[in-house]
Structures are given as C-alpha cells and as structure tokens.
C-alpha cells in the first residue's frame, strides 16, 4: 500500500524568507514519482515540482526545490524568497505505476505574511 | 479548450437525491481522472479513464457512485441517493496519456453540499 504523510497542517512565513514543507511516504515499489501540488483559494490544483525516484539529483524549479531522501522516504519542499502569491494549500503526492493513480497527503496550508 | 472545466461550480442537494457532475477535459487528452477532496483531507482518487474505458473502479466509495466517459471527451460522475458524507469538492484532471510522465491538469472542481 502507498501512503503519503504531511505532518504540518499549517505553516506561515514572512515574505522573502525561506520555508520548508515536510512530506514522508511509504511505498513498496522501486520506481515511483513524487510531486508537490499547490492549491490556491481558486481550488485549481497546480503542479509545482516533481521528482523521479530513480534520479538522485534533487529537482528544482526557480524558487522551488526539493530535498529527496530516498532511504528515509522523505520528500520536502523548500520555497525560497517567499511571495504573497505562494499562499495556498500544498499537497505532496506519490504516483503509483501499479495502479496508475496518485496518492495525496492531507496538505499543508501555507500563509505568506507581508 | 483552454483548460479543464467542470460544472456546476457549486451544487446543493437534498439527501437522497441524485446528482451528476460534469468534466470537460482539455481537447486531445485521452486520460481523465476523478478525485474527491473532503474538508481537511487530501485528494482521494476515485477513478480514471483511458479513452472511454475505466480499467479499475475499485476506488469508487460505494455502488452509489458511477462514472462514464463518452466519445473520449466529456465525463460525468453520478452519485445516486446522496448522503451527507458525500459532501466534498470533486476534482477532475486530464492528461495526454495515462502515464506519470504526462502532467495532470486539474479543473476548478465542483463543491457538492448535501443537506
């Protein structure tokens, strides 16, 4: 079975500062993919960043980067130079090749304070 | 279309009534996914379509839930005899193919409230 755990229901960060959102997962598969999605108040889910499990190099997308620790099954998201528009729910997700489906965590509500 | 659209945006229904939720995927996307997002919860996967076919329906919460897709495009999620626990946001996503290498594009969701 696949599970994704986000242990921080809410977080806040000052504008221009850096924040890290935590995510741990469990899977029996050897090849899988991990994602971070952002859901602003508009409810539209937006892909932030993704990581292939077989790649050791951490993925980066502009101000967003991940710290992927495969042995520890940890996949944290770092947001640098936080902006007001980063205020949203952030979901960590794992894609299972077996079932062709995503498994999502319960989300972290991030507020960027001006 | 420009993106995935869903209708209605909001739906309030009485317990015991049937509801239909509609999803219009991005043109040319063969894969379509339905999720349920309950308050304070993550997204719960319900079902996916590859073309008009849904290979695995085990994610549907009960036999009151059904989904279909016709013409490889529009999909409807039907909930019969709605219950209060069905209240949630129902999200639809589409992608070019059913494969992780293809990004899923989400619609804005339908907020269903069962009174």
Provide, as residue numbers in chain A, all residues whose Cβ is less than 8 Å from the Cβ of B103: 47
Provide, as residue numbers in chain B, all residues whose Cβ is less than 8 Å from the Cβ of A93: 43
Query: Residue B35 pLDDT > 90, yes or no?
Result: yes
Min Cα separation A71/chain B (Å): 22
Torsions phi, psi of A45, nearest 5? -75, 130
CB contact under 8 A, A102 and B104: yes
Provide, as residue numbers in chain B, all residues whose Cβ is less than 8 Å from the Cβ of A95: 100
How confident is residue B100, by pLDDT bands cut at 50, 70 and 90?
Answer: low
Quote the pLDDT of residue A32.
Answer: 87
Sign (positive or negative) of CA dihedral B51, B62, B110, B88: negative
For residue A102, what is the nearest residue in chain B, using CA coordinates? B45
Quote the pLDDT of residue A101.
Answer: 77
For chain B, the average pLDDT equals 91
**Residue range A37-48, pLDDT digits in tens:** 999 988 888 999
Query: Residue B98 pLDDT > 80, yes or no?
Result: no
The Cα-based distances of A43 to A48, B45, B98, B103, B115 in angstroms read 15, 16, 23, 17, 22
Quote the pLDDT of residue B104.
Answer: 86
**Residue range A61-102, pLDDT digits in tens:** 999 999 999 999 999 999 999 999 999 999 999 987 776 778
For chain A, the average pLDDT equals 92
Rounded distance between C-alpha atoms, residue A67 and residue A74, angstroms: 8
How confident is residue B57, by pLDDT bands cut at 50, 70 and 90?
Answer: confident
Question: At a CB cut-off of 8 Å and minimum separation 6, what does B104 contact?
Answer: A45, A47, A102, B33, B93, B94, B95
């Amino acid at each position: 079975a696949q599970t994704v755990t986000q242990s921080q229901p809410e977080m806040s960060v000052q504008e221009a500062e850096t924040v890290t959102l935590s995510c741990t997962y469990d899977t029996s598969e050897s090849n899988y993919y991990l994602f971070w999605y952002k859901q602003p108040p508009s409810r539209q889910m937006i892909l932030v960043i993704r990581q292939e499990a077989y790649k050791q190099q951490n993925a980066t997308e502009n101000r967003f980067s991940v710290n992927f620790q495969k042995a520890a099954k940890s996949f944290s998201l770092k947001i640098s130079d936080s902006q007001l528009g980063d205020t949203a729910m952030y979901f960590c997700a794992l894609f299972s090749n077996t079932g062709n489906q995503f498994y999502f965590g319960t989300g972290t509500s991030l507020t960027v304070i001006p | 279309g420009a993106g995935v659209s869903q209708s209605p945006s909001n739906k309030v229904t009485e317990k015991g009534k049937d509801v239909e939720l509609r999803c219009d995927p991005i043109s040319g996307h063969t894969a379509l996914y339905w999720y349920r997002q309950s308050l304070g919860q993550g997204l719960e996967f319900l079902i996916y379509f590859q073309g008009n076919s849904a290979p695995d329906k085990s994610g549907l919460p009960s036999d009151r839930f059904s989904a279909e897709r016709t013409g490889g495009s529009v999909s409807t999620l039907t909930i019969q005899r709605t219950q209060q626990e069905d209240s949630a946001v129902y999200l639809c996503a589409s992608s070019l193919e059913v494969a992780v290498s293809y990004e899923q594009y989400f619609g804005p969701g339908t907020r269903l409230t069962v009174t």
